[in-house]
Amino acid sequence: MVTLEMLKGITTGAVRIWEEDGWFRFSRFTRYQEELLQQRGFAPREQAGAGMRLEFLTRGGRLAFDYEVHPGSGRDYWGIEIAHDGLGMVHLQGKVPHSGHVCHQIPPLEREIRVTVYFPNLAALRIRNLQLPEDAAPYTRQKKYLALGDSITQGYDAAHPNQTYVNLLADAWDAQVLNQAIGGDVFCPENLDPALDFSPDIITVAYGTNDWTLQVLQSGAAKAYLDKLTGLYPGVPVFVLLPLWREVENELRGGITLQQGRELLSSWAENRENVFVIDCHHFIPFLPEYFYDGVLHPNDMGYLYYARALEKAVPLFSH
């Protein structure tokens, strides 16, 4: 069986990993961040597995584990994906809560492949009795990517966890990702913990649509958030992703349309060293079939459009 220390060697996207009642548990936040998010009313979203994964190299063997899935969002569904060199081979899905067993046999191979187990983006995952191929070795990615934002960055509403824009970008960039997005959140400087033990090579920030809906976009929190973020990570490129298209964006919230909100965000982000603004509102076709709910959250195809457009918009990191 895999020990806690062995597990830590093949897990990415988790700030903390611990054993409790025989189960391995994972968190993408510091204890301070978890407590703050709970105080702010976001529980249990801080428990979701967005961006977390097991990843190792092997020439074949058995991958097996027991699992439990618990709430981690306002959604009642979950998905787990197992991929070989980025190609999905196993897709598990169901309703929260759920428990089960995974047994995946990787055939003998002449070369090493990268096996990835993508955690649910919208649910919490616990595992135990983890078995790996005998030759399993950690796969080390070359870059580190910090993803900050709201529901779309967390992964609402991709059916396959590897198809969120954050996971698609991380795989395209060969980057280890830490996804600290929370569905429904707004610019909140207190969310940024100076004690976070993660040194990113790139950061994306994708808030604004909830700030506009809640009529708090003009509060000054966005500017304060960017001030703190750039102070914590001097010299690291920060890409501010302006809100995607949404069906109601021409309505007024706090006296402004969403497009006017984008312009405000852009004005606060521009003229900062190492901060780059990307206007994303046209990155997904304005058609309901590319959105899970038809109006706001992308589906798998919508996320694919979004990620591919972002790859082109961030060439200095992609190549």
CA distances to 14, 170, 261, 264, 309 from 270, in Å: 31, 25, 14, 10, 21
Quote the DSSP letter at residue 253. B
Q: Of all helices (H) and strands (E), which one includes residue 228? A: helix 221-232
Domain boundaries, the chain: 4-138, 143-318
Looking at residue 317, its pLDDT comes to 59
Cα 67 versus chain centre, distance: 20
The four Cα atoms 303, 306, 311, 314 give a dihedral, to 10 degrees, of: -130
pLDDT digits 0-9 by tens, 63-121: 999 999 999 999 999 999 999 999 999 999 999 999 999 999 999 999 999 999 999 99
Contact (Cβ atoms closer than 8 angstroms) between residue 205 and residue 266: no
Structure tokens, 215: 């009529």
Same CATH fold assignment for domains 4-138 and 143-318:
no
Structure tokens, 271: 């003229």
pLDDT digits 0-9 by tens, 8-48: 999 999 999 999 999 999 999 999 999 999 999 999 999 99
Contact (Cβ atoms closer than 8 angstroms) between residue 57 and residue 32: no
**Which pTM was predicted?**
0.97
Second CATH level (architecture) for the domain 143-318: 3-Layer(aba) Sandwich (3.40)
| Residue matched to tokens 């298209």 | 245
Q: Which CATH number does the domain 4-138 belong to among 3.30.1330.100, 3.30.420.40, 2.60.120.260, 3.40.190.80? A: 2.60.120.260
pLDDT exceeds cutoff 80 at 218: yes
